[in-house]
Structures are given as structure tokens and as C-alpha cells.
Amino acid sequence: MTDLSAAQPLTNFAALFPGQGSQKIGMLAQLAADHPLVEQTFAQASDVLGYDSWALVQNGEQQQINLTERTQPLLLTASLAIWRLWLQRGGPMPTAVAGHSLGEWSALVAAGVVDFADAVNIVRQRGASMQRAVPVGEGAMAAIIGLEDDKIIAACADAQQSEVVAAVNFNAPGQVVIAGSAAAVERAIAACKEAGAKRALPLPVSAPFHTALMRPAAQELAELVEQTHFKAPKITVIHNVNADSQSDPATIKQLMLEQIYQPVQWVGCVQALAARGITEAIECGPGAVLSGMVKRIDRTIHCATTDQPESFAEALHNLAQSES
């Protein structure tokens, strides 16, 4: 693999890694047809997982890859297959990386903090632990569209009634995800609508991620994370919990455990990248979820998708032009 410490980063460029929800059957099929590295990366993940991960994402059923325990390693692998291909094809090195929720683990691998195989193992366990923390059906998540953050936070506080519900993903202005106990989320949806939300959309997820209900999952994962070797990042990583960077491996481990039950400050992460002079980014994974969020947060940053041969080639060409 490319020696990250030897490469000269492009100072206005960042790589972003998506989280759960971007997975789909058939993802990266066209890229893989042109570039063997994609399937090779999935083969490496398969050695860790004990099943044929490429066959599953190409020929399985959507409900199979939507199981959190499978979604997390499969999506991490897809994102890092694109990252490896970017480096193999001579793409410029970013000066910063960030990932949304699960995607933060992809960002850590890209930055040289944790080895790929170790990350696959961790996120498989992370997914399993998060699912075990709250039985299916007892938790829920919903996207609140068109309402100010402070009104959403207040609606959640009013809706708790001794249960858990909170704003957990600050994805873009006017786009916040809430999560918690199913009944409390229903009450919060009604309160948000009453406060003027344009829409409140229940999300098809199997657990209330990034809430206090996920603390048992963090506790369960702590031993594996502690046993895993983390290195100081060779590329700046902007973390979800505090929208800031960190260089100490022990502190990064703690942030990655807190991230399981703390809100994702994605708006803050993008703003932190802009403050560092980032004007170009690639979404290193399937889909265009992050590209859409970035556009809503800060239009000074142009974020390109990379999961199709045409979009990958275009992003590579444009970034190479700006590098020269």
C-alpha cells in the first residue's frame, strides 16, 4: 500500500466516508469489473469475517446486508476498496479525513490509525453489540426535516417521560435524526410536527444508534478496542463526537467508544474541514449521501462521488488538475 507518510497531501482536499444506509446489493460492481483491487479488498475482509463478503453484496438480498452486524464490515470494506483504488490510481493524498458514524472507522484506516483487518473485526463486533443493546422493536429513529436544532432538542426533552429520546445526528441545517425508545420517539415526532417540522420520517433501522441506550454496546466493545493497536494518525481525522482532531491513540480509542452513544456532530465536522481550508472532497464509499449533506452545510466545499467508474475517473481527473 501507499506510504502515507511519504506522500505530499493536497492542502485543500479531504476524503469523507459514509455510514449505515449507503449499503446496497450490487454496490461497486462496475468499479470491480475494471479494477481487481476492489474484489481483492473484499477477499481480505472475507478472511476475517468467515464468509464470502463479495458474493453477499453482489448476490445476496438487501435484508441480509441491512443486518447491522453485516452492514458495518461490508460498508467499511466498500469504502476502503475505493480508498485503496484512489491511491493505486495516483489520486492525491487528502490533508484531512472524516467519516459519518460507522464511516469514522473507515477514516481511521485511511489515516493509518488502525489496520484494515483489525477494523473489519471491530466493526463486526460493534454492529453485533449495538444490536444486542436494544431488542429489535424497542428502539426507533426518525429524520426531522425543516426544524431548527434547538426546537428539536426541546421537543425531545418534553417527549422523554422517563424514557430515552434525543437528537443524535446533526446531518445538515434542517436535517436532524432523533433516536431512542420507540414510544418516546413517537411522542417526539408529534412534538416536532407541532413545533413546525416540515416532515418527520421514521427510519428503517434496527436500533436507536448514538443514544444513551447504546452505552452497553460501548462497554462490550471496549476490551476489543483496547487490545487493538492504534497508531498516531498520518492524516488529520475530524471526529464525530467533538468535530475536532486528535493525535493521541489512547484518546482516539476513547472517542471511538463514546461515538457509539454520543450524537454525530456532522455539521460541525464539515465546518471544521472548511475552517481548515478544505474546498474539495470525495465521498469514498457507495452512494451520494454525504455529498448531499456537504452541499447543504457549506457550498464552498465541492464533494464528488466515486462509486461508479465515470464519477471516479472524473474526480481523479479534477483533483489531479488542481494538484498540478
Is residue 35 among the annotated active site residues? no
How far apart are alpha carbons 267 and 279 in whole angstroms?
Answer: 15
Of the candidates 106, 210, 239, 291, the residue annotated as catalytic is 210
**Amino acid, res. 63:** Q
247: enclosing H helix or E strand: none
Cross-strand bridge partners of residue 184: none
310 Cβ contact partners less than 8 Å away, ≥ 6 residues apart = none
Cell output for 292:
448531499
Question: How many CB atoms neighbour CB 224 within 10 A?
Answer: 15
Pair type for strands 175-181 and 165-172: antiparallel
Closest CA to 102 of 78, 129, 127, 139: 127
How far apart are alpha carbons 98 and 236 in whole angstroms?
Answer: 9
Buried b (16+ CB within 10 A) or exposed e, 190-215: ebbeeeebeebeebebbbbbbbebbe
Of the candidates 79, 101, 129, 206, the residue annotated as catalytic is 101
Is residue 210 among the annotated active site residues? yes
Which of the residues are catalytic? Answer: 101, 210
